[in-house]
Each structure stands twice: as C-alpha cells, then as structure tokens.
Amino acid sequence: MNTDIAQRVKRILAEQLNVAPEALRDDATFDDYQADSLTRIELMLRLEEEFQLEIPRDDATRLEDVKGAIAFIEARAVAARP
C-alpha cells in the first residue's frame, strides 16, 4: 500500500463524509457513513481532481468502501506514471 496515496484518499474521504480521518475504518462502507448518491458523486469528483485521473462511471458505482477506494486509486495512479 502506498502510504502517501492512502493518506490523501482518506483525507478526501474524511472531508466528503464529514468524519475525522482517524475515524475512517478501511473495512467501512460509504453507507456506514451515511453517504448518499450526491455525496458519492462529489467524492469521485474530488478524487479525480486530486489524482488527475478519470473514474469511469461503472467503476465509480462499484466503489463502496474505504479500502476499495484506496486500492482503486493506487492502481490507477501507478498505471498513470510514465
């Protein structure tokens, strides 16, 4: 796990989900934090902006938990490196 990426993803998740970063659990789903559809869209947009990548709609709908979001961004960030 890339610690820098994980911390950045968690910071964004915490901001968007209105929770303290240290309160985020890797196994928690976005539903555990009462994230509605608008919050999820805003979350994906923030992740795209932060990491300068595009999250396809199909992938975005499958991202349901903290660990999955971190893994997805890590995989895309590594793939995007020259």
Residues with catalytic function? 36
Burial 61-75 (b: 16+ CB within 10 A, else e): eebebbbebbbbbbe
Q: Report DSSP state, residue 19.
A: S
Q: What does the angle CA 68 – CA 82 – CA 57 come to, to the nearest 5 degrees?
A: 35
